[in-house]
Structure 1
Amino acid sequence: MKMINLSVNFNDINSHSEFHEKFKRLFGFPDFYGKNFHAFIDCLTSLRIPEDGMTTVNIQQDEYILLEVIDINHLQDDLKHDFLLAIQEINNRCTLLGEKASLLLLLSKS
């Protein structure tokens, strides 16, 4: 499998709104992105389906994204919990479609 590296620093995220804005920019979510975790999951489930138009970042079947997450412990507990559950759900959807996980996390500190 091929890997695409992306990085997100949670040091400057202090609210749900800031979280969703950062990920909207990172992955190129559409203007109608709902800025909630249901929309987050839906957009990132389409990483391998570019025709959906849900992200400007797209991967092939033999690729995955290695997302370096810097300072995850800076996030509020509920936001951190929701983020991790969302990543799990995105990868569960991949499995249901007969694919390998699309998002792998690398947790690091700044």
Structure 2
Amino acid sequence: MTIVRLTAQDLVEDFHAAFSGAFGFFDGYGRNMDAWIDVMGSLTASPPGLSEFRLADGETLTLLIMDAERLRRSDPRQYSELLECSAIVNGRYATKGESGPIALAMEG
């Protein structure tokens, strides 16, 4: 299991920049939730291309959101989209009979 910590402050300031920086999203990343789903859904893809970050097949990525309550209060839409879009990514894996790679952990 791999854990990536992201702060609510960074997500509130610029959600897409925070994820792009943490995962090395490709230069043409569209900075919207459809593009986020595509990139986060390709973390086990071979060959790599949408992100510098790689997960092994079957590996779980835990997104640890620090001070998550701040994100929920400051930007409830983005908070909800993070939950929903993570579920969409995991659902795409489930349709292929695989375990979804994203686990969300909310702290604070």
Q: TM-score, normalization: structure 2?
A: 0.89
Q: TM-score, normalization: structure 1?
A: 0.88
Q: Hey, what does 1:84 align to over in structure 2?
A: 83
Cα deviation for residue 105 of structure 1 reads 1.1
The ranges of structure 1 where at least 4 consecutive aligned residues each deviate by more than 2 angstroms after the TM superposition are 11-15
Cα deviation for residue 74 of structure 1 reads 1.7
Q: Which amino acid aligns with 1:25?
A: G
The gaps in structure 1 that reach 5 residues or longer are none
Secondary structure at 2:27's aligned position in 1?
coil
Q: Hey, what does 1:8 align to over in structure 2?
A: 6
Aligned-pair Cα RMSD in Å: 1.3
For residues 71 and 49 of structure 1, do their structure 2 counterparts lie closer, same or farther at Cα, with a shift above 3 Å needed?
same
Q: Which amino acid aligns with 2:94?
A: T
The gaps in structure 2 that reach 5 residues or longer are none
Aligned 1:25-40 pairs, distance under 5 A: 25-40=21-36
Residue correspondences, number = 105
Cα deviation for residue 52 of structure 1 reads 4.2
Percent identical residues: 27
Q: Which amino acid aligns with 1:33?
A: Y
Q: Which amino acid aligns with 1:19?
A: F
Secondary structure at 1:40's aligned position in 2?
helix
State whether residues 25 and 50 of structure 2, in contact with CA within 8 Å, keep that contact through their aligned partners in structure 1: yes
Q: Quick one: distance in 2 between partners of 1:98 and 1:70?
A: 31
